[in-house]
Structure formats: C-alpha cells, structure tokens
Amino acid sequence: MAISSGGDASENLSVYRLRWVGYGLLLFALVDTVHSFAIANPADPRFGINLIGQFVERVVVPLLGFALVFFGEFYGRKAPEKLILRFLSWLCLLLAVAYFLMIPPLLLQTFGLKSQVNAKAKEFETAQLAQLKKVEDQLKSSSPEDIKKIATQLSSMGAPVDPNKPDAVKTQIEGRIKSMRDQIPAQVQQQVSQFRGLTRNAVKWTLGAVISGVLFIYLWKSSRWAR
C-alpha cells in the first residue's frame, strides 16, 4: 500500500492508529487464550471440544488484529518493529496449521462422546427401571409397615408419597411408579438431545476452523514483504 508522505497528515496518522488498535487486539487475544486454558476443566469429557470451540468463536479478534498490524506495510516502521512483523507473519502460518489440526480431534471427540452419551443414557434407563421393578416386587408382598418404608423410599427418589395414610398409600405408590416409568423415556431423550446440540456446534466449529486456517494462510502469504 502506497501512502502519501507529503500530503495528507491525517491519513498518515490513521495508519499508526490502526496499527496500534491491531496490536491491542492481538494482546487481547493472547490474554483471552491464557484465560481459556486457565479456567478449562480437563476432567470434563467435553474439555477438548469446548476449548476448540472457544478458539474458533473468538478467532475474529486475532484475524482483525493481524490485518490492522500489517496495514501500510513498511511505511513508518522502525527496525525493532520490522523484527516483530517478521515474527507475526510466521505466527500466521503457525496459527493456520493449528486451526487445521483442530479439525480431526474435534470430529473424533464429538463422535467418541456419542457412544458415551448413548451408554450413559442406557445405563440410566436400566437403573431406573430396575429400581422401580424392585419397589413393585416389594409392594406385592409387603405389610403396612413395609409400605410405609416403600413410601419413604419413593419420596427420596423424588416422588413424594404420604406414608401416614396406610389405606391409600399402596394405590398412591402404584400410581407414582407408573408415572415415573412413563417419564423415563423423556429423561433418556433429554440426555441424548444434549449430544445433538453438541454435534451441531461441532459442525459449525469445524467449518469455522477451516475458514480460520484459510484466512491465516492468506495473511501469511500477503505479509511476504515482512519476511
């Protein structure tokens, strides 16, 4: 980019302003990256996916920062800044590679979680049905005192039954068991639907990583003058 050196002073000052904004955005992106690693929870099975998602969602800031820093090419640059520009130019290539490398683990972890979610949903369904079956079996051959204990057990499972009405408590328990059994498929479906939302995000982040990698490659190639 050619900039007049003998005419419009305000235009020349704008070049410096844009560059300083660019450096500020790059510093902001660096702080944000450190913060993302600091608050990440490796114990969460979605740790890697969420971290990659954050980098893709926030990539606009460093992209804009690099574009502004490179604005004006060598106009008004001092020797130390030229060394920084050389480093930043190669950093664009490194970031392009990094974003391309995010794609395989993003896809692998997403589909790996699918089997985990399905297994946990099945385990939850089996455990709930087994627990309700156990209560039903106890109910069939229970004394009034046993029925009170069953009512207390159901209350602890989130289905409150009044244990102080022995005459009606058995009917209440049977109704509660049926209601809880009917709710199990919806609870299982809710767990599976969480994975579907993650899948949609993974597709979006994969496309975002591809676009980000291409743009960083473009910044690296267009900043050949800085190397």
33-84 pLDDT, tens per residue? 999 888 888 877 678 888 999 999 999 999 999 999 998 887 778 888 889 9
Task: Find, among 102, 22, 108, 104, the residue nearest to 63 by Cα.
Answer: 22
**Of 37, 35, 32, nearest in space to 65 by CA:** 32
Please give the share of the chain, as a percent, with pLDDT higher than 90. 34
- Convert the pLDDT of each residue in 166-210 to its tens digit: 566 677 777 778 888 888 887 777 767 766 777 788 889 999 999
What pLDDT sits at residue 6?
Answer: 47
The region that residue 223 occupies, defined by phi over 0 for left and psi between -120 and 50 for alpha, beta otherwise, is alpha
**Which pLDDT value is given to residue 183?**
83
- pLDDT computed for residue 11 by the predictor: 57
Q: How confident is the model at residue 1 (pLDDT cuts 50, 70, 90)?
A: very low
* CB distance 205 to 52 below 8 Å: yes
* Single-letter code of the amino acid located at 195: F
Residue 42 vs residues 32, 46, 48, 120: alpha-carbon distances, Å: 18, 8, 8, 20
- How far lies 130's CA from each of 91, 158, 184, 216, in Å? 57, 16, 12, 55
Helix axes 60-69, 9-39, angle to 10 degrees: 150
pLDDT: which is higher, 108 or 196:
108
By CB atoms closer than 10 A (0-12, 13-18, 19+), residue 213 is: buried
Spatial contact of 223 and 89, defined as CB atoms under 8 Å apart: yes
